[in-house]
Structure 1
Amino acid sequence: MVLIQRTAQLDRLRTALSNCDDQHGGQVCLITGGVGSGKTALLEAFAHEVTESSAHLLRAVGSRAERDLQFAVMDQLIDSSGLGRASMRQVATAVRLLARTAPIAPPADDLAGLAAGRPDGASPAEPGTAEQPLPSTVHGMLTSLLDMARPAPLVITIDDVHHADQASLQCLLYAVRRLRHKRIMVVLTESSELRTPHPHFRAELMSQPFFSRIDLAPLTDEALGLLAETHPVPAARARIARRAPALTGGSPLLMRALMDDPDATGTAPRPETAPAVGGSDGPLAQAVLRSLYRHEPEVRATARTLAVLGHPTPLPVLARLLALTPDLTAQAVQLLGQSGLVDGDRIRRPLVPAVLTDLPAEERRLLHRRAAEVLHEYGAEPEVIARHLVGAEWAEAEWARPALYRAADQATASGRPDITSACLRLTQRQSADSGSWTPYDGLLLRSRWQINPLSAATDLAALAAADGPDGCPPAALTGVPALLWQGHSDKARSIVAAVAQMSDPDAMTRARLAAARLLISLFRPDHCEEARDEARRFTDSGTATTVTGRCLDALVLLADALDPARASGDTAAEAELMIQRYLADDGALGLLATLLLVMVYTGRSGLVCEWTRMLLARPSMRYAPTWQAVLHAIRAEAALRLGSPQEAEEQARAALTVITPRAWGAAVAAPLGTLVAAATEAGHFEDADRWLARPVPAESFRTPLGLHYLAARARYQLAAGSRRAATDDLRWIRREMAAWRMDTAALVPWRLDLARVQLALGRQQEAVRLLEDQLDPAHTADERTRGAALRLLAGLVPAEQGRQLLARSVKLLESCGDRRELARALTDRTRALRRPAGPEPAGRDTTPAPERRAHSRASAEAPLCAGESEAERAEPLGGLSEAESRVAALAAQGHTNRQISSKLFITVSTVEQHLTRIYRKLDVKQRTDLATRLAAVGAHGK
């Protein structure tokens, strides 16, 4: 290990050695510091310099295992002396003779015997016994060793002297008293401990006039950074320097282990769920354990207790748990801090798993139980007590269940369903009453659903049993969302009906009933049609100050966004205000998901992508996998509406990875539909085939999410040449949306999609009628849908009118953010501007390119717009050649270089060369700027 921040200490040792001469006599240096502070490394560096000089070196190491082995340290010094074999045998014999003839291990207080003329420190004989005469071999032995200092200095080093045996220390003191006239240097290292080992030895040692003490402080952040620079992998150095202060606390032992740990340094593949210090066999985790076992048992117990507590704890509480005095407890915490394990009054968070590695499960549970009891006595917060009750798997005390209930409520509000579920599972196990459905049963169901909807099956069965002949408690309404998610809408309706039969329900129950009815009407729009009007009445009654009231407000906004008669800009504005108000609330994910859907359906997909990106980046999101999956699905749909099929596919795949497709229940139609649409849009028809092969529950097709899926399937079928199947799906959508009174393009623009099918069938007049109907303000088409409809309609009317429609289309699509649809409109407008005015040629082929190339999926272009293939034949613009114009148009639509090469039958290298010239001629720096630049070029006819 490279010595960093130890130069001054090494210089003091060098100076002490240089002072070992006939004028100054001997020197004693005691190196002190916490466990792992680098004492041994400093001693080894000094010993190496001694061996390079002419000095003699005797070395020994104290060991906890040899503390009771008499003369263990002295034997090591003799072995390292370099004496001849006969001399070493003679000295060893003398030591053994002394061990047999005198009490070698006197009590600590009898070290005073050394000062009374007993050179070996032996105790006086017990009363009634004769004192054993001491052999002179001890004096001769030490004299022989001391005489080695005559020609050159003699250096004696003992590492971990606090573990040395008593007899060796007596002999060492014999030598130390004679250093004044000898060229001898003694260097000792000692770790700080709760109780000073060998206090009389230490007191006499420190009283010598030639004694000096060298303290080793933890390494500074700057020193840790210098050490990180010595790592053999350059890419790991910055990461090590960044993590070292929090992981090591300046401990050289932990720093050395950190640099050897591939998990901690990032030099080895590491899953996101891996512990911060790697596995229990990792170098850093093992270094933590080595450090702990070099401490006294009380210090180890303190470390484990702090790790179990997990939060800063008052010193009296900690002392009570450890059954130690507060002073001794504070000293133990200080020792752990010197070792780098403790930061302030808590174990460094990344090191907690390593500290608890070898603590048996039963001992850990007992420690948690004891912590809960003591913390309850000291009046700790319920969530702190509950964490230990859960860790102990114990809730038998009468105060335990109330604490668990309060902790569950607080965890729910802070977005921690895992804590809520753990607390309520424990209360449920301790409760003998399981016959009625309580509010905490509903809270448990909700928390389990957020973690994994499949784990809520048991709770849903209990909820079904709660709806009996004696009525249903209002608390059962909390299960309605989970029932709908699993496709049990009939059961949800029966619960609402049963609760509604209550006589004189309070205001909160009425609000919950209204919210449940509205949610059912949104998920199954053929049910509870009157629920929307009822819910709107409640939004004006001041319930927004409650959680139920806020959720009701959000559901009303969603209902308005899907209602052709009510959708307006105000809907989006109110949703945006609510999102900004509750965006920082980790416990409001359900509310935020509803509002984000409102923003999607009101054409604000760009904002939705930004907000979902922020939410998904939160560390707290990992505690609610179901909401994480829902946000991925919402972001996928928003990305699809922005013309980014690749991002839409990535996000929808993530939605089906965070929780399994089976766990999605009836809602699985949402991410699957987005995947089918994204694959079709990108021309990846084999992928679309695979997604369509996934099973979808029949209940899904009775929901708005099912309509998303059917619309995506219809677009794929059109691309595949199955026009009749596409027509059937779109007519089903039309029928359902009319029956639900949700005939809005914000949900599914079925008229636009059906017009594309009619164009593929050559029925231009029917297509025109559908497009004009789609553009009718009564059908609340958003800017994206209107822009796409205008673009298609422009190809079916006279040229002059078509140019006007295309100009309007480009303007709308620029504002909505759909890059792919904008690129198509720009290409069509550029072509229209180059076409001479006059009547439209008769028999113009408006069939999409994939239909003209029937059954040839590999060469099919994006099939969602008529005339799109003419982008390949666009006239030159902006100084581009015809070939460059074709590449620019396809690149602006979002096609990759490989896709462009396949479509134009040129190599990828040629595409790259074209793009280099295109960027230069159009003065753009990146692919995403192409659409805007092409629009400007086309508008000015350049």
Structure 2
Amino acid sequence: MLTSPARAARLVHRSEPSGRDVEFRLLRHALDRSLRGRGGVVALCGAVGTGRTELLHVFSEAAADHGVRVLSAAGSPLEKDFPFGIVHQLFQSAGLDAAADAEVAHLLDDGAGAPAGEGGPRLTPRALHGLCSLVLRLAERAPLLLAVDDRQDADVQSLEFLLYLVRRTRAARVLTVLSSRETMTPPNPFFEVELARQPHHERVRLGLLPAGLVSELLHERFGADAALRLTAETHALTGGNPLLVQALLEDQEPGGARQELVVGESYRRGLMNCLHRMDPLALRLARGVAVLGRPGEPELLAELLLLAPQSLSRASYLLHSAGLFHEGGFRHPTGGGDLLAAMKPEELAALHHRAAQLLRVSGASAARVAEQLRSAEGHVRAPWAAAAGATAGLGGTLEEMLSDCDPGGPGGTDRTGGPQGAAAPAGPDGWTQGWMAAVPSQRPPRPAGPGPVLPAVAGRSVPRAVPSSGFDPVPGPAAGAGPAGAPPEPAAVVLPWAAGPAWTPAPPAEEPVRIECVPWLPGTEAESAEAAARRELKAVRYLFWHGRVAEGTAALERFQAGQPAGAEPTGLRELRSWLGYWFRSLFPQPGPAAGTGTTDGLAVLGGLLAGLPAEESVLKAERILRDGRLGGGSVESLTSALTVLVYADRADRAARWCEPIAARTAAANCSSTWHALFSALRAEVALRQGDLRTAEEAARAAFARIRPEGWGVAVGYPLSTMISVRTALGRHEDAARYLALAVPAETFQTPAGLHYLYARGGHLLAVGRPEEALADFRACGELMARWDVDHLPGLVPWRVGAARAELALGRKGQAVALADRQLAAIGAAGHSRVRGMALRARAAAGEPAERTGLLERAVSALEDAGDSAQLAAALGELSATHRVQGELGLARSAERRARPGGLPSARPGGPRPLPAEPPADRPADRAVDLAGDRGPGRPAGPPEEGADRLSDAERRVAGLAAHGLTNREIARKLYITVSTVEQHLTRVYRKLGVRRRVDLRYSPYLGGELAG
């Protein structure tokens, strides 16, 4: 046995892992010091595939062969939430005698009585001291090596024990080696900081193998000649990643002269292994690069993947540091294809569609855009590529895109001889059809003749919007027409418009609009300047509504340049207000404006976004709602006024106005577009009031009135409501189906994009992907800061979502800071709903002693806000907190209030109590039908009538199961058998109508048993 320092030099004369002799020697020196009574801790880190696990295993075996007692453990993502998992593994591997084993079990069972934190129960100081003393006693008998692999996936409680231990082993014969994979952000920053502060701490990083070491491996395997020929190619394909090097060597046939490398199954499998073990955001970036098919486009990738620049940079670093990427792309072409092949078809198709949209907007060649559409074809019916000349972003199906676009690439010419994209090919009637893809850089002279006209480039027609049902093709060649099948040579083009009143941003569903390029013909009847101006401004609004921002901006600039000096045509101010709301980064508004006529509501909404006090905005908005009449431009004013109430965090007041406005709508016989807009707003109001059933019904009604392609950039509003409802009900597969639907890239330049990102972040957080959820929440924050609206948490309370995500990642300090910043930002009054949500997040992240007070304040705020879903959750958390503190009477009282019958009665026009499930009798394999009666997903069965009469025993078991405890842990906690636990859970599932353990967290019948 190695008990004297004199024998330390004899340690480990076996072979080290290939290429890791330097790192191996560092570990040997650390162990040498510990044998002399100078304990240490080594943080062994490296990228995925760099051999950390192999090095730790070989070193542990070598130490064990020389008399060192080895205690080993390994973290796992599947066991990260199991308290004391690493601690159990360490002592189970120690080969303890029966007495020591019983001592460990006693300390872990009886010592886990400290109040539960976010990560579960904590060890008491007595238990920590007892376990540490046991380790020190073992070290007196023989030197110890504590080897923990994949500590980034260790449970919080075990990390707490390890930190306690290393502080007390500085003068003991104990070496602790903690291996971890490099990640986007430290899973537990407090642990990392405290560990690095220890004076006996040492960090060893495993890098990639240099070309010289790769050559040595090839020499050992294939001989000197093959090593000379293949080293450069091997290093280029693997980047020196040991796992990939070994996999590539396995692909080569044994024996024989080797002229070139074979990239086979082992290499491809090794690459996929590395990619899927990386951080989710790094994997997301790799998929984005694979979809685009080429490296080095960071801005496009950031837009495609909705990643913040710093997240993109860090994810790129991880991929390069692991040797998987080189200069922004895969080292071998098969990497991207294999990665995409492993994705779900609907997710892959949605990514390809989004890439096509972004590429078109960025001016990429038609062939490249069409390639993306071809890759997605057949997977998802994309509303943005629905028909030739459709106005929703891409302008056609794959075949029509291929035929409509110029194959000549940038700088080429179309078949009519004009600038690329200026005209599309002739349609069957001999007239050009397509989208307006080019903007003239200079204004040509207007022709002589009456009536205002829009300028156009010679050889080019300007689109107009007409209802397809009323389209009447211009017959035959007219005066001035060119050859048959080609457009005439107009000097200028008028822009007729036939798409409803001024406030209508999108055509109603029964009148789908397409773009037609119509030539101006001599002798066309003149119209007044005012009428022409109105039509041109409608065209501008139409382009922006459908995400054609560059074209809309150019059209607006042309219109303004054509106006007399000092003149402001009717409708231009209204358009600016409208653009200031939808595209705030492009058209910033200086502050509140005293709008008149149709812009009253828009002016108040703009003022709220610009910093007008919320209460003042609410009073002005309610005056508009009270006095406004339906019809014409007043509809936009009324919808804007309702939006003011929602964003001012007064959804309770907005709910009161929904019924009166709905009644006035029915009496006034309003258009389908108004009904759709009002339904989308009503869905958002119901969602913020916790009325999930009404929210879903209203969102479906919105899609029934206007098809998804007609919603343009605003599609994010009703989609986000559907996603949030399904997430709140625990129907995550349904939510994922809605997320798979393509949305225009320009949506994320609008408030609708904020709603969509926030809803997606909530879904990702609910399905256990907090890193990606955090990226979405922070993207909301970045956009709100860029648009100068971060003072308005009622838009989306992104800090609350980010705090929940940080909490799920085990970073309580960041979660507390985010919740505190949100509370500080809203002040002492107003914003009751956001305040209640922030207080809930603060309570979950805070210390147990302050949790009761925080939750009581949250309950009070949410009662004022009228959000029954958030209120039920807060009451459930309060009940659970009382129960942990032994206050059973208070716990039962909060529990009763959390049930549907115990919530405050709905206000007039307000929400109903939180439903257990929406009405659903639809099959799970049904495709998403936004406008129909059936939706995706299969709900759990309905609860029995006795669901609200669970026995106390059933309720206790269900509550613990909802917290994630196993049946054995529940049995131990309640002093019953595992069989009894299983019987209770069977009855609970039947009574509540749920199928899975996770569904218990969403049951309103367990409010008092749930926390977090």
**For the superposition of Structure 1 and Structure 2, which TM-score range results when normalised by the shorter chain?**
0.3 to 0.5
Q: In terms of Rg, which structure is larger? A: 1
- TM normalised by structure 1 equals 0.43
Q: Larger helix proportion, structure 1 or 2?
A: 1
Higher relative contact order (CA 8 A, sep 6+): 2
